């Protein structure tokens, strides 16, 4: 099982069906993702966008045959979790794609990594070139949007835009909790303890490195899918007078675009991230008991810059940090407010965490 993937789950969908000005419904769906995740305040996230036409063009220029489109896409789509060398090995040795074509494909598939500055401005230009849509994706937060040429999923049914949202820099214990299906009757991994976490298969696994947990929302354009089901449900009728068969209805394609949110995954992230406030309270309690005056941020997703500015404004000389890296290293970061320099300290947080 992929970490964070449930065997059973609920999702919340939003679909737009019908013919409208090109790309406007697609842009609205991206806007909905941004608005929902922003309101939920689940932390830093990214909305990755690609287009089937771009994938087809990429593959054609690389010399990959049409018959290999789907199998190559399934490998390219793994680049968010695997290195290019691993994907290359799969393409050449398992899927028998010519090596020269794979090398050419690398220039496109790794475009984002080679040019990390290619984000929202290029994406907006791309959208405008394809669809002549003006504006900034209906007010979507620009820094949240990125063009990702390796996003290549759902191509059995997606005919145009493809997009997904991922939560970034999630602590490893939280990823493990998601892989267990936290809150679904099993063990809920503590996102603030780096101990061994039971696997779903009864084994044991050390917490992995931090990173994205996979998509919390995804969607795209599927202009042929509804028509395919309508066509499958059509039946022939026989005219008794001339015994000729006539179709009850014509083949009709209904353009559609959608976005879907993973409810359990979102709830799990929100619940486990809320533990951060509790751990800050524990640390403050520990310091208070030692006669040290202190206070803590009440926000589940506290922002370092906002907090350090608060310290400066209120003449608080020392700031303690409980962030992602501190979670992994089992320590507390300490900084001087005046110069924002780190004070070297090996203060073990397990002293107060276990108290």
Statement to judge: residues 250 and 324 lie in one domain:
no
Statement to judge: residues 80 and 15 lie in one domain:
yes
Q: Is residue 223 part of a domain?
A: yes
Whole-number pLDDT of residue 322: 76
Statement to judge: residues 328 and 251 lie in one domain:
no
Q: Which residues are annotated as a binding site?
A: 11, 15, 153, 157-158
Regarding beta strands 215-221 and 204-205, do their DSSP bridges make them parallel or antiparallel, or are they unpaired?
unpaired
What the block records as the tokens of 102 is 């794979």
pLDDT in tens, 27-55: 899 999 999 998 888 888 889 888 888 88
Residue (of 10, 4, 35, 31) closest to 124 by Cα position: 31
Whole-number pLDDT of residue 196: 31
| Domain end residue (candidates: 242, 257, 273) | 273
144 three-class SS = helix
Cα–Cα distance measured from residue 265 to residue 8, given in angstroms and rounded to the nearest whole number: 11
Model confidence at 232, in pLDDT bands (50, 70, 90)?
Answer: low
Statement to judge: residues 318 and 225 lie in one domain:
no
Q: Which residues are annotated as a binding site for L-histidine?
A: 11, 15, 153, 157-158
Residue (of 269, 295, 262, 264) closest to 280 by Cα position: 295
pLDDT in tens, 241-296: 444 454 444 567 889 999 999 888 888 777 766 666 777 888 888 889 888 888 88
Check whether 324 has a pLDDT greater than 70. no
Statement to judge: residues 20 and 126 lie in one domain:
yes
DSSP 119: S
| Domain end residue (candidates: 241, 273, 305) | 273
Query: How many Cα atoms sit within 13 Å of 103 on the Cβ side?
Result: 3
Whole-number pLDDT of residue 325: 67
Whole-number pLDDT of residue 178: 52
Range of the domain at 309: 277-353
Statement to judge: residues 228 and 258 lie in one domain:
yes
- The answer to whether the beta carbons of residues 30 and 137 sit under 8 Å apart is yes
Statement to judge: residues 257 and 298 lie in one domain:
no
- The answer to whether the beta carbons of residues 13 and 258 sit under 8 Å apart is yes
Check whether 126 has a pLDDT greater than 60. no
Q: Is residue 194 part of a domain?
A: no
Statement to judge: residues 251 and 119 lie in one domain:
yes
Statement to judge: residues 24 and 101 lie in one domain:
yes
Q: Is residue 195 part of a domain?
A: no
Phi, psi of 90 (to 5 degrees): -65, -45
Residue 43, domain CATH = 3.30.930.10
Range with lowest mean pLDDT among 54-58, 127-131, 199-203, 281-285: 199-203
Residue 339, domain CATH = 3.40.50.800
Check whether 338 has a pLDDT greater than 60. yes
Statement to judge: residues 292 and 146 lie in one domain:
no
Question: What residues pair up with 211 in beta bridges, in sequence order?
Answer: 170
Statement to judge: residues 50 and 147 lie in one domain:
yes
Model confidence at 226, in pLDDT bands (50, 70, 90)?
Answer: confident
Q: Is residue 36 part of a domain?
A: yes
| Domain end residue (candidates: 233, 254, 273) | 273
Cα–Cα distance measured from residue 255 to residue 19, given in angstroms and rounded to the nearest whole number: 6
Q: CA torsion sign, 125 to 127 to 131 to 132?
A: negative
Q: Is residue 177 part of a domain?
A: no
Q: Is residue 53 part of a domain?
A: yes
Model confidence at 323, in pLDDT bands (50, 70, 90)?
Answer: low
Statement to judge: residues 307 and 163 lie in one domain:
no
Report how many domains make up the chain: 2
pLDDT in tens, 97-115: 889 998 888 877 776 555 5
Check whether 204 has a pLDDT greater than 50. no
Q: Is residue 310 part of a domain?
A: yes
The chain-wide mean pLDDT, for the chain, equals: 72
Q: Is residue 26 part of a domain?
A: yes
Own/partner pairs, 245-254, CB within 8 angstroms, 24+ separation? 251/227, 252/227, 253/223, 253/224, 253/226, 253/227, 254/17, 254/18, 254/223, 254/226, 254/227, 254/230
Per-range mean pLDDT, top range of 76-85, 184-193, 325-334, 338-347:
76-85
């Amino acid at each position: 099982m992929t970490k964070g993937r449930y065997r059973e789950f609920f999702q919340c969908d939003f679909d737009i069906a019908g013919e409208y000005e090109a790309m406007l419904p697609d842009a609205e769906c991206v806007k909905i993702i941004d608005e929902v995740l922003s309101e939920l305040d689940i932390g830093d996230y990214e909305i990755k966008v690609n287009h089937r036409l771009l994938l087809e063009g990429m593959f054609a220029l690389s010399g990959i045959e049409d018959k290999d489109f789907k199998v190559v896409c399934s490998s390219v789509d793994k680049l968010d979790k695997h290195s290019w060398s691993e994907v290359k090995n799969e393409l050449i040795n398992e899927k028998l794609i010519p090596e020269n074509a794979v090398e050419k494909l690398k220039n496109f598939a790794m475009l984002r990594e080679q040019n990390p500055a290619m984000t929202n401005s290029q994406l907006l230009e791309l959208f405008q070139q394809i669809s002549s849509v003006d504006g900034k994706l209906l007010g979507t937060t620009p820094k949240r949007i990125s063009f990702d040429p390796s996003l290549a999923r759902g191509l059995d049914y997606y005919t145009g835009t493809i997009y997904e949202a991922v939560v970034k820099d999630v602590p490893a214990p939280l990823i493990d909790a998601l892989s267990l299906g936290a809150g679904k009757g099993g063990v809920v991994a503590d996102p603030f303890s780096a101990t061994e976490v039971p696997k779903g298969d009864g084994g044991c696994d050390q917490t992995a490195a931090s990173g994205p947990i996979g998509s919390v929302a995804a969607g795209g354009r599927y202009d042929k899918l509804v028509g395919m089901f309508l066509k499958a449900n059509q039946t022939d009728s026989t005219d008794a007078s001339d015994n000729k068969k006539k179709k009850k209805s014509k083949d009709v394609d209904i353009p559609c675009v959608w976005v879907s949110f993973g409810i359990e995954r979102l709830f799990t992230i929100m619940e486990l991230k809320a533990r951060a406030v509790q751990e800050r309270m524990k640390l403050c309690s520990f310091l208070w008991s030692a006669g040290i005056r202190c206070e803590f941020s009440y926000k589940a997703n506290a922002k370092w810059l906002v907090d350090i500015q608060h310290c400066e404004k209120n003449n608080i000389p020392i700031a303690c940090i409980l962030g992602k890296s501190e979670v992994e290293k089992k320590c507390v970061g300490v900084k001087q407010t005046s110069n924002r320099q780190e004070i070297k300290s090996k203060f073990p947080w397990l002293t107060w965490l276990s108290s």
